[in-house]
Amino acid sequence: MALYRIGRKLLATGAITSIALLTACSGGDTQETTAPAACAPAASGEKVTLTFSSWVPGMQKTVDLWNKQNPDIQVQYKEVVAGQRGTYQTYANQIKAGNAGDLGMVEFDSMPSFRLQDGLANIGACPGVQEGVKAFVPWTVSQVGFGEAGALYGVPQDIGPLALYYRKDLFEQNGIAVPKTWDEFYTAAKQVKAKGATITNFPPDASSYLAALAWQNGAKWFDNKNGTWTVSMTDDKTEQVAEYWQRMIDEKLVDSVPALTDTQFKALDTSREWSVVGAAWTAKLLENGSPATSGKWAVAPLPQWQAGQQASGNWGGSTTVVFKNSKHPAEAAKFALWAFGNLDALALNNANGGQFPATTAGESELPALNEPYPYFGGQVIWKTFQEAAPQVNQSWQWGPTMTQTFADLSDGLSAAVNGKGTVLDALTEAQKKTITTMKSQALQVAE
């Protein structure tokens, strides 16, 4: 699911501990660390009740199926607002107060901040976990393990490979070819502008969206070698992406409203925006948010920087974490592995929430992924995401203070779309502030 602007106070609210454990976070160099805590299941016959919160539409139905099949481990579900729209701040407050509950949805890029706050349970030693995670796409497991031997701080929920959602009817009626490269996308944008619309939106509040676009182009914002971080948010690949979208902004070829909000969905549903560069999970949000244009949409591969390339980025994608204060981490881990690994559960998650599985079997065997999607004119859209998923660069690494990084970047992007700076200025300033934040928390950063 999507990542939007995060509460600036999140890091400040939580007690910052265990910083040393995060020196190789998000799939960096493997290092020795403390062994996973003991994770004994409840005594035989003991009834266990867990709490679980997420913002995936329809997740209650998945929980209902679990509860029906597992009378001794019941899950109480609560649908909450998206992480950066308030839930992450709530998590941080709850972690600080020691009452965070059992399970919660956290996007991959926000996990390091909660790990840094020492709010996540290491479920690596829980029964069945090490075997269970073998079913998941390797890079997602790497991102929930933080490079620590034997450690797992969550179970991957879904991934968000990028593709191009576009109004097939409008492109065809106006003789505009579906762009296969970013140069063609720019040309198409000028054609769409001539018709009084914009080709897409450049959302100032979704820093992770820009990260995903840079990810596709081969950028690498963070790296960690032997405990020392390198921050490269203005590398050549990112600069190319920044300058491209700055040109689109300067020539007024794109809209600039908050990402996937009612405002944007209205623009999409009234033909003011003709396409969305979106993740797999965007499909269900588009269907729910823009119902009047049902049947008029289609999905194409993400435009490439060079003709013939096959590269995608990943926007969002989530995990289910077990909070450190959970009294039943073994049962919580068991539920998470089932809810996002069992094919029956994955079918519900896809049908109700539009989630694209993070398991290899789910991506290849889930029947729904081979079925026509009426909202998209009967197209089997998931095939596009099945092809995009392995095109995502698996070496991408998130920084340890991404919540603050994204908050700072969003500030700069908001200024850029209002003509008070550039996208590259926003990245430059965010990098500068990120390094300052990391140093303030005793993290080693290369100059």
What pLDDT, in 10s, does the model give residues 382-392? 999 999 999 99
For residue 396, report the phi and psi dihedrals to the nearest 5 degrees: -55, 135
Mean pLDDT (whole number) for 385-411:
91
Mean pLDDT (whole number) for 353-379:
93
Work out the angle between the directed axes of helices 402-417 and 236-250 (0-180°, nearest 10): 30
Mean pLDDT (whole number) for 65-77:
97
- pLDDT over threshold 50, residue 28: no
Task: Using alpha carbons, select from 291, 311, 299 the residue that is nearest to residue 389.
Answer: 311
Same-domain pairing of 269 and 352: no
Q: What's the pLDDT at 330?
A: 97
Mean pLDDT (whole number) for 194-219:
95
- Residue 383 included in any domain: no
Lowest mean pLDDT among 3-17, 102-116, 288-302, 372-386: 3-17
- pLDDT over threshold 70, residue 32: no
Same-domain pairing of 231 and 356: no
- Residue 23 included in any domain: no
Burial pattern 86-125, b for ≥16 Cβ within 10 A else e, equals ebbbbbbbbbeeeebbbbbbbbbbbbbbbbbbbbbbbbbb
- pLDDT over threshold 60, residue 17: no
- pLDDT over threshold 60, residue 27: no
Same-domain pairing of 408 and 271: yes
Q: What is the rounded CA–CA span in Å between residue 355 and residue 340?
A: 10
- pLDDT over threshold 70, residue 6: no
- In angstroms, how far is CA 364 from the centroid of its own chain? 21
pLDDT band at 15 (very low <50, low <70, confident <90, very high): very low
pLDDT above 90 covers a percentage of the chain that reads 80
- pLDDT over threshold 80, residue 410: yes
Same-domain pairing of 102 and 198: no
- Residue 387 included in any domain: no
Q: CATH code at 62? A: 3.40.190.10
Number of domains in the chain: 2
Q: What's the pLDDT at 294?
A: 98
- Residue 114 included in any domain: yes
- Residue 11 included in any domain: no
* Residue ranges making up the domain that contains 153: 48-160+317-365
- pLDDT over threshold 80, residue 29: no
- pLDDT over threshold 70, residue 394: yes
Q: What's the pLDDT at 426?
A: 98
pLDDT band at 37 (very low <50, low <70, confident <90, very high): low
- Residue 96 included in any domain: yes
Same-domain pairing of 177 and 280: yes
pLDDT: which is higher, 24 or 148:
148
- pLDDT over threshold 80, residue 157: yes
Q: What's the pLDDT at 256?
A: 94
| Residue 27 burial class via C-beta count within 10 angstroms: exposed 0-12, middle 13-18, buried 19 and up | buried
Lowest mean pLDDT among 77-91, 370-384, 409-423: 77-91
- pLDDT over threshold 60, residue 207: yes
Most confident of 33-47, 78-92, 345-359: 345-359
- pLDDT over threshold 60, residue 331: yes
Query: In whole angstroms, how far apart are CA 27 and each of 43, 139, 443?
Result: 35, 8, 17
| Pair 152, 133: CB distance under 8 Å | yes
Same-domain pairing of 72 and 198: no
pLDDT: which is higher, 365 or 187:
187
Mean pLDDT of the chain: 90
Residue 327 has a CB neighbour count (10 Å cut-off) of 10
Mean pLDDT (whole number) for 278-307:
96
pLDDT band at 227 (very low <50, low <70, confident <90, very high): confident
Task: Using alpha carbons, select from 109, 113, 111, 54 the residue that is nearest to residue 315.
Answer: 109
- pLDDT over threshold 90, residue 441: no
- Residue 298 included in any domain: yes
| Pair 378, 304: CB distance under 8 Å | no
- Residue 8 included in any domain: no
Q: What's the pLDDT at 147?
A: 81
Same-domain pairing of 68 and 124: yes
